[in-house]
Amino acid sequence: MELVEVEILTQTITSQYGVLSQGDILRTSPEFAKHLVEDAGAAKFVAAKEQSSAKPSEGLKVEDLKAALEAKGISIPEGAKKADLAALLDSAPAA
């Protein structure tokens, strides 16, 4: 079954999912998603581009960031904080 994602824009009550709150991301059938977006005006489609635009550092722990940087041959500055490591990884050219 194909699922699509919508972001809920306002509190919405559904028989299928119960109460949905603003900011919730709902994975549902294309038909129900279309209903929420077009008929009810209660949601917007989450663009596929937004889903795939996650930064390489997103969700990584410090040790994972260091391993990813080392794998790319990027030297790690002494005393670098997590944010510094993430910035280095995010700015590195894709493999």
Does the global pTM surpass 0.75? Answer: no
For the chain, list the domains and their CATH numbers: 4-52 (3.40.5), 62-91 (no CATH)
Write out the two tokens for 70.
């080392």
Q: How do residues 41-92 score in pLDDT, each as one tens digit?
A: 999 999 754 445 578 888 889 999 999 999 999 999 999 999 999 999 999 8
Q: Is the pLDDT of residue 31 over 80?
A: yes
At 48 the pLDDT is 59
Q: How do residues 32-42 score in pLDDT, each as one tens digit?
A: 999 999 999 99
Confidence of residue 95 (pLDDT cuts 50, 70, 90): low
Say which residues have a Cβ less than 8 Å from residue 46's Cβ, sequence separation at least 6: 4, 5, 6, 7, 25
